[in-house]
Amino acid sequence: MVRFENVGLRYGMGPEVLRDITFSIEPQSFQFLTGPSGAGKTTLLRLILPALKPTRGLINLFGHDVAGIEKDTLTALRRRMGVVFQDFRLLEHLTTYENVALPLRVQGRDETSYRAEVIELLRWVGLGERMHVMPPVLSGGEKQRAAIARALIAQPQLLLADEPTGNVDPTLARRLLRLFVELNKAGTAIVIATHDIALMDQFDGARRLVLGDGRLHVYD
Amino acid sequence: MERVDWCSETGGSMSMISAWRDRLHDWANRMPRLVQQPWMTRLPWVVRSEEDPARHGQQPLVPAASIAGRALVTVIAIMTFLAGLTAGAAQLVSEASAGWRSSVAREVTIQVRPAPARDVDADVARAVSLSRATPGVTAVRAYTRAESERLLEPWLGTGLNFDELPVPRIIVLQIDPERRPDFGALRRSLADTVRGATLDDHRLWIDRLGTMANTLVLLGIGIMILVLAATGLAVVFATRGAMAGNREIVEVLHFVGASDDYIAREFQKHFLRLGMRGGAIGGACAAVFFLGAGALAATVVATPGGTQIQALFGTIDLGGGGYLAIAAIASVVAGLTAIVSRLTVRRTLLELG
């Protein structure tokens, strides 16, 4: 599904922030991407998206080498991925409902064709009563759940989540983790970037990808 | 009547908002016909039941209200107003010129100069009879000597004795515009039979008026092209500004799987709305200007100045065609805004890519 081979990344003429990254993400797999703050977890997720181009190495997404990828192919690949940003990135002029429905809307689907499933998902993440309010009115946890719902609504094959439990209490964090595990059982490969050891300890079946000093260590 | 649930989306100042909500609710339920209007469902503070499709209406992905957007609407309105004024003025001049040319072309004049040892009255009579016999001439009127002398009074003054002056005699011929006479043949016949007679078919004046009118119309078209070009450039800058201001939205749209074409369409819709609003305001102002100018000209038509204006431009009335032209300009400006913004977005996205 995702394959990195000797990937390196540097910003400008600076030192390499990521070096010789080699790993793969298999379908229906579950992995935590961890490491200290500033280790490059978000950068690695951005390389998978791909929102960044590596300075060296090979990245293969769903069988496509990203080096010479066409725009249309990239769009199609992104539709197979869901992403939860650390800072949520909800569009503030849209309601929670519209934010969550966004991945389906940009596919050109008619609003009536997905209304029921968006409402159902919003209720499932506990935002059934907040679907018509704007993001500025939502609490941090509600924004987090809205961002997760947006990432899930199109039933992606790969879910990338950057600190998805960073703004929620431990109870909600456990609930969200259960949500990710259920999704994984349903066939979605999951990558959760976190430095929350307690969260990772709650799910022993996950691979751990540990970033440190720009290198990646994989613990199966 | 279906009950409408009113509420605020802000969540702040709840007591005041709920008081207002109750008042609005009460008011709405007293006016069943009003709340059933489709436009009411689009009001931002109206929240309907979950099953109501209007509740899930889709907001534009590019935020509609912004200071830059309002500034662009103002620029587009001003540009459309100027383009509408130019088009209207060019049309007025063109119509006035066509009127002048038509009037001038409907008559020609024969000048019979007095010559020594010739009876000028007999020459005039021969020219008149020759003219009457020419096909295409509908009426012939020879000015008497007194009338010819009166024509000179504005330049030479009154009370003069014209006896010593060789005042030429004028014969005015009315022409059938559908069946114009053969002026070459008439000119030759006059030269053969009436010595000193010349035929003036006013072609020189007609050509000059035509050239002047065409120049003014071309000038108007040139100004309109410049105005449209300036509008296009303003839209390019505004679009780039909007792209920069909404960079995060563009990025999120990309990450959730929006294609460049989809994003360009969203920006195009946004700018089409701005273009239509600006075009409508500018076009309406131009139409109101011409209506006002026409009404003002009608009030001063009895004054000397008004008479001069009317003689020069006719009545200041664009007619249906003129107002349609202004509407067409407003539509072109809106369309141009949409197309330019789409091209700019595509180009910017390529650069970002």
Query: Rounded to a whole number, what is the largest CA-CA distance in chain A?
Result: 51
**Residue B10: its pLDDT value, please?**
35
**Residue B318: its pLDDT value, please?**
80
Nearest Cβ partner for B256 among A71, A93, A106:
A106
Distance CA B119, CA B105 (A): 30
A129 touches chain B (CB under 8 A): no
A186 touches chain B (CB under 8 A): no
Confidence category of residue B200, pLDDT binned at 50, 70, 90: confident
Residues of B near A (CB-CB distance < 8 A)? 9-11, 47, 50, 53, 55-56, 58-59, 61, 63-64, 248-249, 251-260, 262, 353
Residue of A nearest to B64 (CA): A93
User: Mean pLDDT across chain B, nearest whole number?
Assistant: 78
For domain A1-80+156-220, the CATH class is alpha beta
Please check whether residue B347 is in contact with residue B235, taking contact to mean a CB–CB distance below 8 angstroms.
no
Cα of B233 to nearest chain A Cα, Å: 28
Q: What's chain A's Rg over C-alpha atoms?
A: 17
Cα of A146 to nearest chain B Cα, Å: 14
Of residues B42 and B223, which shows the higher confidence score?
B223
**Residue B44: its pLDDT value, please?**
45
Please check whether residue B216 is in contact with residue B86, taking contact to mean a CB–CB distance below 8 angstroms.
no
B257 with A94: Cβ contact below 8 A: no
**Residue B196: its pLDDT value, please?**
79
- Map out the domains of chain B as residue ranges: 5-56, 67-101+206-352, 114-195
A69 touches chain B (CB under 8 A): no
Cα of A197 to nearest chain B Cα, Å: 28
Confidence category of residue B284, pLDDT binned at 50, 70, 90: very high
**Residue A150: its pLDDT value, please?**
95
Lowest mean pLDDT among A194-198, B18-22, B267-271: B18-22
Cα of B253 to nearest chain A Cα, Å: 8
Whether B8 shows a pLDDT value over 60: the answer reads no
A78: which chain B residues are within 8 Å (Cβ-Cβ)? 254-257
Nearest Cβ partner for A78 among B50, B64, B257:
B257
Of residues A17 and B180, which shows the higher confidence score?
A17
B260 with A133: Cβ contact below 8 A: no
Q: What value does the mean pLDDT take over residues B62-91?
A: 86
Whether B11 shows a pLDDT value over 50: the answer reads no
Let me know if A120 is exposed, middle or buried by CB neighbors in 10 A (0-12, 13-18, 19+).
Answer: exposed
B257 with A111: Cβ contact below 8 A: no
A154 touches chain B (CB under 8 A): yes
Distance CA A4, CA A19 (A): 11
A114: which chain B residues are within 8 Å (Cβ-Cβ)? none
Highest mean pLDDT among A111-115, B53-57, B114-118: A111-115
Highest mean pLDDT among B176-190, B262-276, B302-316: B262-276
Whether B24 shows a pLDDT value over 70: the answer reads no
**Residue B322: its pLDDT value, please?**
87
User: Is the complex ipTM more than 0.85?
Assistant: yes
Whether B40 shows a pLDDT value over 70: the answer reads no
When scoring B47, B56, B66 by the number of chain A Cβ atoms within 10 A, the one with the most, hence best to mutate, is B56
SS3 track for B179-241: CCCCHHHHHHHHHHHCCCEEEECCHHHHHHHHHHHHHHHHHHHHHHHHHHHHHHHHHHHHHHH
**Number of residue pairs across A and B with CB atoms under 8 Å?**
69
Angle at B143 between CA B142 and CA B148, to 5 degrees: 150
Cα of B261 to nearest chain A Cα, Å: 10
Measure CA of the first residue to CA of the last residue in chain A; give whole Å.
17
Nearest Cβ partner for A78 among B47, B61, B255:
B255
> How many helices, marked H, and strands, marked E, lie in chain B?
12, 6
B166 three-state secondary structure: coil
pLDDT tens digits, residue range B182-194?
Answer: 888 888 888 888 8
At B199, phi and psi to the nearest 5? -105, 125
Nearest Cβ partner for B256 among A95, A103, A115:
A103
- Secondary structure E strands in B269-320: none
Q: Which residues of chain A have pLDDT under 50?
A: none
Residue B56: DSSP 8-state: G
- Map out the domains of chain A as residue ranges: 1-80+156-220, 90-155
pLDDT tens digits, residue range A9-21?
Answer: 999 888 889 999 9
Confidence category of residue B311, pLDDT binned at 50, 70, 90: low
Cα of B234 to nearest chain A Cα, Å: 25
B56: which chain A residues are within 8 Å (Cβ-Cβ)? 97, 111, 115
A49 with B255: Cβ contact below 8 A: yes
Percent of chain B exceeding pLDDT 90 equals: 17
Nearest Cβ partner for B9 among A108, A119, A133:
A133
Lowest mean pLDDT among A166-175, B133-142, B222-231, B246-255: A166-175
B255 with A83: Cβ contact below 8 A: yes
Residue of B nearest to A107 (CA): B258
**Residue B5: its pLDDT value, please?**
36
